[in-house]
Amino acid sequence: MTQPLSGDPVDCPSCQSELRESLINDNYLACPFCESLFRKKEGSISPQEACLEESYRDRAITILNNDKHHYEYLYCNPFIVEKFRIPLLNRDWILALGGGHPKLEAYLQPKRIEACDLFPEVYLKTMEEFRSVYDYSGEVQYHRVSIDASFRPPTPSDSTNGLISLVHFLEHLEYEESIRVLKNLPSHTDVVIYGPNAGKKPMPGDWIHLRPQDHLTLVTLKRLKQILSDMKYEIKYDTAFADDMLIYFNTAGGRTMSGTSCVRDRVERYIQGVGIDIGYGGDSISKTSINIDLPHPYTSVGSDPQHLSGDARSLHWFADNVMDYVYSSHLLEDFENMGPVLDEWLRVLRQGGNLILNLPDEKKYRAHCRAIGEPPNEHHSHEDLTPDIMMNLLEGKTETVYVERFDPYSFVMVARKL
């Protein structure tokens, strides 16, 4: 349920649709397309802000002391946990990101619990309570960490029979931070996420109303499953109850994300009608796109079918002005002379159609390669490639309607044909 914004429009960081005022909770902006909720910036309080550490910790402990009924019965829904307990039992360790929820971790009875949190004191205090409730005598350790660009979960190396728990954690992060956490999960590891489902109206008195200033991003179960699928993670089970959701998955296949999977939700609203994905590499931008690549592609990061084989410089299969969109990811930079290639792609695009390009900022890309000690891609033909350079190349032929930078060096742009 949404209503138009009175001020300047704001785009959803998840799918790039225009956000609207939430009619459920006026502390949030809502996306009518993917149903995500985003905390308004004014007056927001994030656990990541160092200046608020003490007040956040004190407030959390106060809630634990004074609101036991809410904490016990609503914060981690027992109906979902009980229904889903068996696959999570008998673990050597559980790594709880964001402190996790001692009720869940103690209930599952692992040999060891390791908690990562900016305020582990809260976790340790509540764990002592649940040790007696669930007769848990295992070892408990904690790591004081914050989520930044270098964050990597400190997973134990002594056993592979472990579980990473993200219980009521991701919603406290900005959207980009939550995506980074999910991308940086170690490969071939079981993970459980438990939290609020933005697709359900909050129950009276639930956490979103008690502490709305701490919830920065809320997504639906459907959107979260799409994000995890784009990361090539294996979803084993998901369920929803009332306004909560739980999803259990394994990160097998992770870290092999295509460039397309990183921008799909950003450009989804521009991928409408009939279109082509040039140099698709096994992962097409849409299940209905016409996928084109070399007869023997030099990369494959998916299993989507290839429809046409040939050279991206000659789209001889198509007449002029027939496509609603032309999409390409990390291909154009391989051509030394990009002008004629762009002209050919624009030839098949109808007037008002969208040219969608996912590209590296070459200077940032090469700096990134130097920082991680790897050589740059030998196929890249340019030492400098930026959104401004692309807009100059397309000047007079298109109107740029969307540009966004993401990750250390990439940018995506949408240009509408004039």
pLDDT in tens, 256-273: 557 888 788 889 999 999
83: confidence class by pLDDT, cuts 50, 70, 90:
low
Any idea what DSSP says for residue 8?
A: S
Instruction: Return the CATH number of the domain spanning residue range 259-417.
Output: 3.40.50.150
pLDDT in tens, 196-206: 777 655 544 44
| pLDDT for 105 | 66
- Determine how many CB atoms are found less than 10 A away from the CB of residue 127: 23
134: confidence class by pLDDT, cuts 50, 70, 90:
low
The architecture of the domain spanning 50-250 is: 3-Layer(aba) Sandwich (3.40)
The answer to whether residues 277 and 291 touch, using CB atoms and an 8 Å cutoff, is yes
127: confidence class by pLDDT, cuts 50, 70, 90:
low
- What pTM was estimated for this model as a whole? 0.49
Say which residue, 237 or 73, is predicted with more confidence: 237
So where are the chain's domains?
50-250, 259-417
Any idea what DSSP says for residue 367?
A: H
Same fold, 50-250 and 259-417: yes
Residue 366 confidence (pLDDT) above 80:
yes
Q: Can you point out the beta strands (E) in 284-371?
A: 290-293, 308-309, 323-329, 349-360
The closest alpha carbon to 110, from 130, 124, 90, belongs to 90
Residue 361 confidence (pLDDT) above 60:
yes
Phi, psi of 176 (to 5 degrees): -65, -35
